[in-house]
Structure 1
Amino acid sequence: MNIYCIGRNYAKHATELGNEVPEQPLLFSKPSHSLAIANGQTLVMPKDQGDIHHEIEIVLKIDKPVNKGDKLVDVVSEIALGIDLTLRDVQAELKKKGHPWLRAKGFKNSAIVTDFWSFDMSECLQTPFSFKINDETRQKGTIADMLFSFQEIIDECAECFGLGKGDLIFTGTPEGVGSLKTGDQCTLFWGDHEKGTFIVG
């Protein structure tokens, strides 16, 4: 299983962090050991590396090996919500040095996902997703604001890396990212439906 991520796929998120809006998908990956499930458990985070930022995203699950020209509906039957965590201070230092982001993006429990459910494109177009911390909404978005569509993301990942059964793609986060603190109660919503929870440990 591979975990691929799309950076800066919502223009307002790129702007809030002072980054340029990309002209093609910005790709990075996370180790498989970074994966965790939002099933109410406490997830331990690094304590001595500065701010940890939350980024809620829609996650696509690939059903089979993807060939050039394959359509989205033929290779994705399930989606989930996910949280891409970033050690923001670490990332800033790495960027200054021109180094890869892996230390900031790939730590244990940095790729959190809910249970998966059946993918329906029309539902995705109509349904907002959101992230609450201690019952306060911190992020909310819809795929209408994405710079690159699900199809474009799959095409890019397949061409650059290849895609196989079980691979996951985090498709980008809307604006509103911010810090997590120990003890935070975190909840992911699809419309009004709670899809997953976790506690920051």
Structure 2
Amino acid sequence: MGSHSVETKEIKNIYCIGRNYRLHALELGNEVPESPMVFTKPSHAVAAMDGSTVELPGGVGEVHFELEIVLRVGEGYKPGAPTDEMFDVMTLGLDLTLRDVQSKLKAKGHPWLAAKGFKASAPLGDWIPYPGEAALAETEFTLQRGEEVAQRGCAKDMLFDVTALVRHIEANYGLGPGDLIFTGTPAGVAALRDGETLQAFWGEQKLGACRVALKN
């Protein structure tokens, strides 16, 4: 796995993009958005996909995995700069979701924080150098669940590309060094099972792995 390390203390804001792959939006029965749908996670949600066990809530309904490309804004960030100059490293991460909790919150029109921002809801793999937006769209990423491939995606299939996401976040919320962007998940999300192992691959390179423990 990669050698680049980003400490949790260096992570500032965590912006996440919902429904950025058409088939994922449809598989959950959601409308495809007309502009980027942004929500956030606390920095305390970060956990390491370093082969260790990630403990998750097990008594509040299904916990779904969502594998995503994650980009980190570098120290040399300048507002409005070309996106290829903005990010220093990237990785693959999991946007873990308490799906039953989220469904109840959505029905009431409440924020998603309890479903998306709980502790360890943002496991991150090893960081590798950001290759640029064009190269990003040429590599397939996959989530292996046990011996099976559960999710398969590519940045070229995003509804809103990296440049569009950056411009939207900059204009509406601000963007700066240490901020992360979870760029959305492809189709194939499902409920986790206690004790199973997940592995995240960027092409043939394994960037992260973890074992799941659902605790009541």
TM-score normalised according to structure 1 size = 0.97
Task: Indicate which of 119, 122, 130 corresponds to 2:130.
Answer: 119
2:160 pairs with 1:137: no
Deviations 1:161-201 (A, max 9, x none): 11111110000000000011110111000112211100001
Q: Work out whether residues 125 and 208 of structure 2, in 8 Å CA contact, stay in contact via their aligned partners in 1.
A: yes
SS of the residue corresponding to residue 126 of structure 1 reads coil
SS of the residue corresponding to residue 57 of structure 2 reads coil
2:193 pairs with 1:181: yes
Residue segments in structure 1 that go unaligned for 5+ positions in a row? none
Letter in 1 for 2:128: W
Task: Indicate which of 46, 55, 58 corresponds to 1:47.
Answer: 58
Q: Which residue of 2 aligns with 1:26?
A: 37
2:140 pairs with 1:128: yes
Task: Indicate which of 202, 206, 209 corresponds to 1:197.
Answer: 209
Letter in 1 for 2:122: A
Question: How far has the Cα of 1:160 moved from its partner?
Answer: 1.2
* C-alpha RMSD of the superposition: 0.9
Q: Which residue of 2 aligns with 1:72?
A: 83
CA distance, structure 1, for counterparts of residue 39 and residue 149 of structure 2: 27
Q: Which residue of 2 aligns with 1:151?
A: 163
Task: Indicate which of 2, 8, 13 corresponds to 1:2.
Answer: 13
Question: How far has the Cα of 1:66 moved from its partner?
Answer: 4.3
CA distance, structure 1, for counterparts of residue 60 and residue 100 of structure 2: 7
Letter in 2 for 1:100: P
Task: Indicate which of 164, 180, 194 corresponds to 1:168.
Answer: 180
Bigger mean CA offset, 115-124 vs 102-111: 115-124
Matches within 5 A, 1:80-99: 80-99=91-110
Question: How far has the Cα of 1:123 moved from its partner?
Answer: 3.0
Question: How far has the Cα of 1:159 moved from its partner?
Answer: 1.2
CA distance, structure 1, for counterparts of residue 72 and residue 81 of structure 2: 15
CA distance, structure 1, for counterparts of residue 154 and residue 145 of structure 2: 19
CA distance, structure 1, for counterparts of residue 42 and residue 193 of structure 2: 23
Deviations 1:26-60 (A, max 9, x none): 00000111001100010100011100000000001
TM-score normalised according to structure 2 size = 0.90
Runs of 4+ in 1 over 6 A off after TM superposition: none
Q: Work out whether residues 127 and 207 of structure 2, in 8 Å CA contact, stay in contact via their aligned partners in 1.
A: no
Residue segments in structure 2 that go unaligned for 5+ positions in a row? 1-11
CA distance, structure 1, for counterparts of residue 191 and residue 78 of structure 2: 36
- Residues 66/48 of structure 1: CA separation in 2 closer, same or farther (3 Å cut): farther
Q: Work out whether residues 66 and 162 of structure 1, in 8 Å CA contact, stay in contact via their aligned partners in 2.
A: no
CA distance, structure 2, for counterparts of residue 176 and residue 101 of structure 1: 21
Counting matched residue pairs gives: 200
